[in-house]
Amino acid sequence: MAAVSRAFSPGAPIDGEKKKRILAAAEAIGYVSPARRTANMIAAGTITLVSGDLLNPFYPTVVDTLAQRLQETGRQLIVYALPANADVDLATDQILASRPSAIIVTSAQLTSRMTRACRQHQIKVVLLNRIQRDIRINAVACDNYQGGRDAGRIVLERGNQKIGFMGGIANTSTHAERLRGLRDVLAEAGLSIYAQASGEFDYQRGYRAGETLLSAQNPPDAIFCCNDIMALALIDVARKRGIRVPEDLAVVGFDDIPMASWNAYNLTTIRQPVERMVQEALRIIDDPAVEPDGVTRMLSGVIMRRGSA
């Protein structure tokens, strides 16, 4: 028995060939070591969250909400933080090694390799706040198209005519659908996007994009920003240039991060229903009737009218 124990103990002294024979025999009879049984029990109650942009204040809100819901059911959360807009391949081996019961991916590109690996290990995956058309995968997202339309209507109702757009990362569904919604509602009013710049969902880049938009000879009189953090940057640029918000420039964001309601910004925005999005993601994970790649659920955002538009 001592040799068997050493075979299942990493780093324990044992002849290599003997260890191989013991492990092969254990696999043949379906034996699982006590340490592995304990690890499997822990993993059975673990959900892994993979996020590519934790510097964006929206995603810590998602992490906090998800952690609270899991604690209520006695489960655990493991968080893998990736570089912004990275693909999950960077952490695939580590993620699978922890044997989670399910994986939730936010703000990161999911690859076909990762998808196949999860199917092989029978791990259910849910995209949160993003939809990918190039792979079949479960997803839960805010209705970004309708949110773009709502943002456009807010400024149209004010009488704004020179309506600009500050975009995020072009190859993401959040950017594409919010832009499409804005374009369509403007087209219905006989207008098109007056000016456009990319802030890549980031404060510093959003600040530079704001300077580009507001330094034009005839700048926009309203700008829809693809997320709140860029909208806050735009308001800071406007202040620096002596442009009054909303009198000279209406600003609308998207997400409703905590800073949006601060008196310093008082941002009109489209609130993502984070609580409901997390609940739907967990419902997909917990429902055995849901296929590994069979569901896309879109939830309506909420217009938060404040003082910037």
Neighbours of 2 (CB within 10 A): 8
| Cα within 13 Å of Cα(295), Cβ side | 22
Residues 6+ apart with CB under 8 A from 27: none
pLDDT tens string 282-301: 999 998 877 656 788 999 99
Provide the H-helix boundaries in the chain.
2-7, 16-29, 34-44, 58-72, 92-97, 112-120, 144-157, 173-188, 203-214, 228-240, 274-286
pLDDT at res. 46: 87
Asked if residues 259 and 232 have their Cβ atoms less than 8 Å apart, the reply is yes
Helix (H) or strand (E) holding 304: strand 302-304
* Domains by residue range for the chain, with CATH: 2-31 (no CATH), 39-142+274-299 (3.40.50.2300), 144-271 (3.40.50.2300)
Rounded to an integer, the average pLDDT of 67-82 is 89
Q: State pTM to two decimals.
A: 0.82
pLDDT at res. 291: 67
Is the pLDDT higher at 309 or at 291? 309
pLDDT at res. 40: 45
pLDDT at res. 54: 85
